[in-house]
Amino acid sequence: MDIFYFLIFPGFLFAALVGLVFTWVDRKVTARLQWRVGPPFLQPFYDFGKLLSKEITVPKQGERISFLLAPFLGLLATALVATILGFSIVFPARGFIGDLIVVLYLLIIPSLAIIIGGFAAANPLSSIGASREMKMIMAYELPFILAILVPVIKSDYSVNINLIMLSQQQHGATAGSLSGFIAFIVCLLVVQAKLALPPFDIPEAETELMAGPCIEYSGGLLALFKLTRAMLLFLLPLFLVILFFGGISVSGWHLLAGILKIVLVLVIIVIIKNTNPRLRIDQALRFFWVNCTLLSILAILLAYLGL
């Protein structure tokens, strides 16, 4: 049964399908913002299928095994995140104390996979991209963890995702308070960076590094990276909604409201993506370490004071 949860629902397959639909929302909203028509609904599925049918090339000088395994590593971790987050909503009993911390760890793994793949490809552009990705992880993880302490404090120091959600359903959403709102803003920016969207698409910088770490990937392996990214596009907004907007409950109207919340967060992310140019790596580093870290420390202090 566990394998069903992991592979079908709420794990891999479910997250992948919803993720691809979410990339369609991203592409459609982007297109409308840019006075374009945008792709048809099934376009992300067509793209995925097309990539699967293409040839996989492995660079001769690259590190073959890590090059081939990296995309799977990212995908497995993401599917596990989907399972844990899904459990906390659908089967609260299956949650465990500390699953928040596990999710935080697992969310780093897709980025690590990109770094491994980028370095394994032995291409100067992908190496630069991978080293930038590494700097980005170091930049955003600190404010991310600090900001996530706020909902933990708010829910009476529980590190169980389901308890955080329940406490919000009783006392109101975390984002409704001042500290929660500040923490939400910080987390939103970090999510932007985790998804490698402008202004933090520095590792992939299309016009500089030509997709950076993914430059040597083709065919099915590239499709896996894209799928991981698509799943994260669904899971990270879901994670934010769980932590700051009281999550989702699966009964009638509440489910619809939950979906609306996720889509709203997604649309905010897409709007930020389309109204900003790419930052330079040193600027991004300074932004996360100084501005965001200070903001999250402020938020923690406020939360401690009960604001």
Partner 1 sequence: MEKKEVIVPIGPYHPLLEEPEFFKLFCEGEKVVGIDWIAGYNHRGIEKISEGKSYDQVPFLVERICGICSTSHPLAYVNAVENLVGLEIPERAKYIRTFIAEMERIHSHLLWVGLAGHFLGYNTVFMWAWKWREPTLDIMELVTGNRGNYGIMCPGGVRRDMSEEDFPFVQSKLDDIKTKVEMLTKAVLDDPVLLARLKGVGILTAQDIHNYGAVGPVARASGVAIDVRRDDPYAAYNMLDWEMVVVTEGDMLARAKVRLLEIFQSIKIVEQCMARLKEIKGDIVVKVREVPPGEGIGHAEAPRGECFHYVRSDGTNRPIRHKIRAPSYVCIPTFEKSVVGGQIADALICLAGVDPCYCCTERLSAVAENGKTLDGETLLRLSVEKTEALKAKGTPV
Instruction: By CB under 8 A, name the binding residues for partner 1.
Output: 30, 33-36, 124-125, 127-128, 131-132, 198-199, 201-202, 205-208, 210, 274-283
Of 104, 82, 81, 83, whose CA–CA distance to 94 is shortest?
A: 83
Closer by beta carbon to partner 1, 102 or else 279: 279
Return all residues near 167 (Cβ < 8 A) that are at least 6 apart: 154, 155, 156, 158
Return all residues near 300 (Cβ < 8 A) that are at least 6 apart: 146, 149, 150, 153, 179
Give min distance, CB of 281 to partner 1, in A: 6
Give min distance, CB of 35 to partner 1, in A: 5
Closer by beta carbon to partner 1, 30 or else 249: 30
Give min distance, CB of 149 to partner 1, in A: 28
What 3-state DSSP class applies to 156? coil
What tokens were used for 220?
Answer: 């099915």
Q: What is the distance, to the nearest Å, from the Cα of residue 104 to the centroid of all Cα atoms in its chain?
A: 11
Closer by beta carbon to partner 1, 156 or else 206: 206
Closer by beta carbon to partner 1, 36 or else 301: 36
Closer by beta carbon to partner 1, 27 or else 94: 27
Give min distance, CB of 277 to partner 1, in A: 4
Give min distance, CB of 138 to partner 1, in A: 15
Tell me how far apart the alpha carbons of residues 165 and 162 are, in angstroms, rounded to a whole number. 5
